[in-house]
Amino acid sequence: QVQLVESGGGLLQAGGSLRLSCAASGHSFSSYGIGWFRQAPGKEREFVAAISWTRGIVSYSDTVKGRFTISRDNAKNTVYLQMNSVKPEDTAVYYCAARAAPFGSVSVGEDEYGYWGQGTQVTVSS
């Protein structure tokens, strides 16, 4: 019932910045945890960042910690991923996902998320 739509992907140079958006429809993000994952060609999908909608607790992978920031906008029912100082290895399809989190917990496990967006391509040139 939760429909997730990612946007904001594109082509940029190393060192640049980009902000991805994940908008929900059909169901409010209230009582949900939101995660960002990415998958590069020939590689498995990996965790990027997550946030608890109600409590605002965040978690980041070591690869992006200090460069990426996940945030939420309650009024717009939207979660953002601010990507700064991007690197070529950040190139991937980025997916937004949602999971039920009635106690405001966060999870880095892909199998914990039951709702997924279509993905948005981010390409970083050298």
What confidence tens digit (pLDDT) does each residue in 20-71 have? Answer: 999 988 766 677 899 999 999 999 999 999 998 777 889 999 999 999 999 9
11 to 14, 31, 53, 74, 91: CA distances (angstroms): 10, 34, 29, 28, 9
- The candidate with the shortest Cα–Cα distance to 85, out of 64, 71, 59, is 64
User: Which residues are CB-contacts of 47 (< 8 A; sequence separation ≥ 6)?
Assistant: 35, 37, 61, 108, 109, 110
pLDDT digits (tens, 9 = 90+) for 58-99: 999 999 999 999 998 888 989 999 999 999 999 999 999 999
In this prediction, residues 10-29 reach a mean pLDDT of: 91
Structure tokens at 71: 């945030």
Higher per-residue confidence, 105 vs 70: 70
